[in-house]
Amino acid sequence: MIYPERFSNLPAYAFPRLRGLLDPHPAGGPVVNMTIGEPKHPFPDWVKTVLAENIDGFGVYPPNDGSPELLDAISGWIKRRYGVEFDAQTGAMALNGTREGLYNVAMALLPEQKRGKRPVVLIPNPFYQVYMIAAISIGAEPVFVPATRQGGYLPDYGALPAEVLDRTVAAYICSPGNPQGAVADAGYWQDLLALAEKHDFRIFSDECYSEIYRGDTAPMGVLTAAEAAGSDPERIVLFQSLSKRSNLPGLRAGFIAAGPESTAHIRRLRSYAGAPMPLPLQRVAERAWADEAHVTQNRRLYAEKYVAADQVMQGVPGYQGPEGGFFLWLPVEDSEAAALKLWTQAGIRVLPGTYLGQDTNGENPGKAYIRVAMVAPKDEMVEALTRLRDCLYN
Ligand SMILES: Cc1ncc(COP(=O)(O)O)c(C=O)c1O
């Protein structure tokens, strides 16, 4: 059989890679899994009722773009959360989680060439892996831009050579970031929007962690920043999700919000090739976007975990708690060696940062970090973090 050349050099995905590293060895203590970003707080009770009330919807093909009611709920949420007027009836589309959207939007919107040359897609490094596969799938050159401690864990796209920026068709950005938990502030957004304007590229803003943050000020999102800057709405795609916000990773519910022209392109591609979100699940999503009480409660649980993690990790050299999201990004000498040590000596599974990054100029910016998901119940998390600290840093 012949297989596509463009995927021939792909390493195994992070989780099978981790299993290959750890599973040959027995656990050295009570097993705790802190690898995957799968929320464990309860989802709201009414999910069951709404699903039951709408169960007949499994008997029909669902609307491709999202039901009018779901799109209305999304308009309302965008207005409340981002403070902008937005018509989701023409500017949004329901997704089966953001991951498929992060992939399919590249297919739907990005051109084969720019100025007669191979296009570039900018990707923060380390990064959520679908950004890379989207770029490769459309024949673009993925350019990985380190997001290191010196740069506040956000990529400095403006420092790239003009030759690269002029070929750029899109830049992915994730705020709050996975894995580092950094939040883009107004200045960062302003610079990025100006750069995108100057070099004529799109911004793909992955904000799936936007509702999990420290303190009382919600992270600024791309729609708010774009309105303040007067940016072309067609330049921007927002990706949102209920997976983290509402503890519903298995619902597979997200949306894109973009300019009407871009949205029409995305809807058209998905009407050919996509799987629309089942109607009963759209009804649950509609209810979830309209309700903030459970989100506030969820954020409170994470706020307690931020404080608890800071207490356990205080004194660990280089420790910095996240501004948002639910990962700790902990400095180590070598990420695979640290993950193996934690497993064999303490029974704790964490993800080596190396698996989330790519070599740029011979260096993988994830190599000296491990990613630790704070998803377990607080007491369990504190106990595991204490063992982690004692194993790695004492
Ligand atoms: C940065 C980031 N983006 C997107 C996703 C995908 O989320 P979902 O497809 O569940 O909406 C995840 C999931 O872990 C993520 O960490």
CATH of the domain at 313: 3.90.1150.10
Q: Are residues 30 and 78 in the same domain?
A: no
Give the model's pLDDT for residue 394: 84
Q: Are residues 245 and 307 in the same domain?
A: no
Q: In angstroms, what is the span from residue 212 Cα to ligand 1's centroid?
A: 13
CATH of the domain at 50: 3.40.640.10
CA distance 323 to 96: 27
CA distance 360 to 68: 45
**Ligand 1 atom at minimal distance to the Cα of residue 96:** 9
Q: Are residues 220 and 322 in the same domain?
A: no
Pocket test for ligand 1, best of 178, 209, 327 (most atoms within 8 A of CB): 178
- Choose among 191, 198, 295, 309: nearest CA to 243: 295
- pTM value surpassing 0.85: yes
Q: Are residues 234 and 302 in the same domain?
A: no
Give the model's pLDDT for residue 314: 95
Tens-digit pLDDT string for the chain (394 aa): 999 999 988 888 999 999 999 999 999 999 999 998 889 899 999 999 999 999 999 999 999 999 999 999 999 999 999 999 999 999 999 999 999 999 999 999 999 999 999 999 999 999 999 999 999 999 999 999 999 999 999 999 999 999 999 999 999 999 999 999 999 999 999 999 999 999 999 999 999 999 999 999 999 999 999 999 999 999 999 999 999 999 999 999 999 999 999 999 999 999 999 999 999 999 999 999 999 999 999 999 999 999 999 999 999 999 999 999 999 999 999 999 999 999 999 999 999 999 999 999 899 999 999 999 999 999 999 999 999 999 999 8
Give the model's pLDDT for residue 12: 86
Domain ends where: 291, 308, 336?
A: 291
Domain ends where: 252, 276, 291?
A: 291
> How many separate domains does the chain show?
2
**Ligand 1 atom at minimal distance to the Cα of residue 253:** 11
Give the model's pLDDT for residue 21: 97
CA distance 199 to 162: 8
Question: If residue 65 lies in a helix (H) or strand (E), which one and from where to where?
Answer: none
Domain ends where: 256, 291, 326?
A: 291
Give the model's pLDDT for residue 83: 98
CA distance 146 to 182: 13
Q: Are residues 128 and 270 in the same domain?
A: yes
Q: Are residues 126 and 249 in the same domain?
A: yes
User: Which value, to the nearest 10 degrees, does the dihedral of the CA atoms of residues 238, 242, 247, 249 take?
Assistant: -90
CA distance 168 to 209: 26
Q: Are residues 203 and 342 in the same domain?
A: no
Q: In angstroms, what is the span from residue 345 Cα to ligand 1's centroid?
A: 30
Phi-psi region of 91 (alpha: psi -120 to 50; beta: other; left: phi over 0): alpha
Q: Are residues 223 and 172 in the same domain?
A: yes
Pocket test for ligand 1, best of 36, 128, 255 (most atoms within 8 A of CB): 128
CA 32 to chain CA centroid, nearest Å:
23
Range of the domain at 234: 46-291
Give the model's pLDDT for residue 10: 85
Q: Quote the DSSP letter at residue 57.
A: G
Ligand 1 pocket residue status of 305, Cβ below 6 Å: no
Given the DSSP bridges, would you call strands 120-125 and 168-174 parallel, antiparallel or unpaired? parallel
Q: Are residues 266 and 344 in the same domain?
A: no
Pocket test for ligand 1, best of 13, 35, 98 (most atoms within 8 A of CB): 98
Q: Are residues 229 and 251 in the same domain?
A: yes
Encoded tokens for 324: 């948002």
Given the DSSP bridges, would you call strands 369-373 and 32-33 parallel, antiparallel or unpaired? unpaired
Q: In angstroms, what is the span from residue 97 Cα to ligand 1's centroid?
A: 7
Give the model's pLDDT for residue 11: 81
CA distances from 137 to 107, 108, 113 (A): 8, 12, 14
CB 16 within 8 A of CB 331: no
Q: Are residues 268 and 145 in the same domain?
A: yes
Q: Are residues 177 and 241 in the same domain?
A: yes
